[in-house]
């Protein structure tokens, strides 16, 4: 079951990589995740993550729509555009073959570098799971992400 869900996530990512305004990278925090980002003209971002939670073989995935709360383009113009994003979305977890669904929030602070198509961000992603007595498992989820935009 874990392999099937992971394969579906990778197929969705592969199908959308030929569009414009995309990003692909890694997020490390409570685990390690592959992160896909789809940027919109409004500055908002759809983030789809999938990977291992707590480095113990449990699968975790989220799909979050982030709104651009602030953009400081003139803060350090030679370095890049700084941003603050906040959003909400859904979460999916597999712990020892127990399926769990939930709601995830996200607050991210980072920079889109002007000299390279790279984005660095620090984020906090609290998650509330609704099944299988795992309600409080996602509240310590801080992370660092690095994505390549194309």
CATH of 2-149 among 3.30.360, 1.10.3470, 3.30.300, 2.40.160: 2.40.160
pLDDT at 18: 46
The span from the CA of 82 to the CA of 2, in Å, is: 36
pLDDT at 9: 53
Burial 111-125, CB ≥16 within 10 A → b, else e = bbeeeeeebebebbb
Question: Mean pLDDT of residues grouped by 10 in the chain (150 residues)?
Answer: 54 49 93 94 93 79 95 86 96 83 94 93 91 65 93
Q: Where are the domains of the chain?
A: 2-149
**CB neighbours of residue 28 within 10 Å:** 15
The span from the CA of 103 to the CA of 74, in Å, is: 34
The one-character DSSP state at 54 is T
Joined tokens for residue 103 = 């709601």
pLDDT at 19: 45
pLDDT at 54: 72
Listed residue (32, 1, 6) closest to 97, CA to CA? 1
């Amino acid at each position: 079951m874990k392999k099937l869900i992971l394969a579906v996530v990778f197929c969705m990512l592969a199908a959308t990589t030929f569009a414009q305004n995309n990003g692909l990278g890694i997020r490390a925090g409570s685990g390690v995740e592959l992160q896909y980002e789809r940027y919109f003209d409004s500055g908002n971002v759809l983030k789809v993550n999938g990977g291992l939670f707590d480095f113990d073989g449990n699968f975790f995935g989220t799909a979050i729509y982030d709104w651009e709360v602030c953009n400081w383009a003139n803060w350090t113009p030679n370095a890049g555009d700084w941003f603050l994003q906040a959003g909400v979305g859904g979460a999916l977890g597999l712990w020892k073959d127990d399926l769990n669904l939930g709601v995830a929030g996200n607050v991210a602070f980072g920079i889109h570098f002007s000299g390279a198509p790279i984005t660095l961000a620090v984020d906090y992603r609290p998650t509330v799971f609704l099944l299988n007595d795992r309600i409080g498992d996602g509240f310590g989820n801080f992370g660092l992400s690095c994505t390549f935009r194309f």
